[in-house]
Amino acid sequence: MLGSANGAQRASLRDSTVPVANRSRSLVLAVVLAALLVSLIAVPAEASTRPTVRIPTLATLSVTAAPRYWWPEEMFYLSLVNCTRTGGWVQSNGTCKGYGSGRYSAYVAPLRHAATMSDLVSRPYARLMATKNICTHFYGGTPIDRMHRAGYTSITNWGENIGCRTASYAKTAVLASHLFFQSEKSTNGGHWRNMKNPAFHWVGIGVWKYGTQVRLVVDFNA
């Protein structure tokens, strides 16, 4: 529409019967309209060069081993996951009923602890989530991205469970997270399937507490 109006205005300037003052005003108006048209055309080009906001990329997260401040809680979690995995059932007080019996679910061989993966993958990510007060599998990439950055480039079969709790004691939060994972038996939820997957043989475990924020990261792999 701007183009059509501008063209009509230029045609009227060629009419000799229009007074000079009116022609001057018309000329000024034409210049203004032309400038407006140019500015409207230029805006999209300028907008396309504006920076966009992106989530953190892989390069923003470095691989740094996290200290084993909550090693006892990590070993406690290993006992919990292997209780459930071998067909036992973790009680509300943290004890295991029927370890290795296959009584409460099909027996699956217990997981072996991957200490180096815990140091380089699971615990650093638990620390990051606790200190930033976030709960996601995908900050700075996917779980397999974190494994690859730590040197586990041949892993193709993997899974990850995370627990995010507010608690005064890390052990309390770890138990609560596991009881939630275990409760998914009735729905065959993703946490339950990871714990019972016979294709997984190793597990990295990371626990970190920051204030009252407690994060548990469990990385399963073959």
DSSP structure class, residue 32: H
How far, in Å, CA of 42 to CA of 56, rounded?
Answer: 31
Q: Which of residues 142 and 58 earns the better pLDDT score?
A: 142
Residue 54 has pLDDT above 70, yes or no: no
- Beta carbons of 89 and 101 less than 8 angstroms apart: no
What would the pLDDT profile of 10-41 be if each residue is shown by its tens digit? 232 333 333 444 444 444 444 444 443 333 33
Residue 47 has pLDDT above 90, yes or no: no
Give the model's pLDDT for residue 61. Answer: 63
Residue 203 has pLDDT above 90, yes or no: yes
Confidence category of residue 187, pLDDT binned at 50, 70, 90 = very high
How far, in Å, CA of 74 to CA of 59, rounded?
Answer: 28
Residues 6+ apart with CB under 8 A from 18: 12, 26
Give the model's pLDDT for residue 91. Answer: 98
Could you tell me the pTM of the whole model? 0.73
Q: Which of residues 7 and 209 earns the better pLDDT score?
A: 209
What would the pLDDT profile of 91-145 be if each residue is shown by its tens digit? 999 999 999 999 999 999 999 999 999 999 999 999 999 999 999 999 999 999 9
Residue 218 has pLDDT above 60, yes or no: yes
Residue 3 has pLDDT above 90, yes or no: no
Pick the closest to residue 207 from 147, 146, 176, 162 (CA basis). 162
- List C-alpha distances in Å: 23 to 14, 30, 45, 110, 117: 9, 10, 34, 92, 81
Question: What is the number of residues in the chain?
Answer: 222
- Beta carbons of 105 and 214 less than 8 angstroms apart: no
- Beta carbons of 98 and 76 less than 8 angstroms apart: no
Residues 6+ apart with CB under 8 A from 12: 18, 26
Confidence category of residue 53, pLDDT binned at 50, 70, 90 = very low
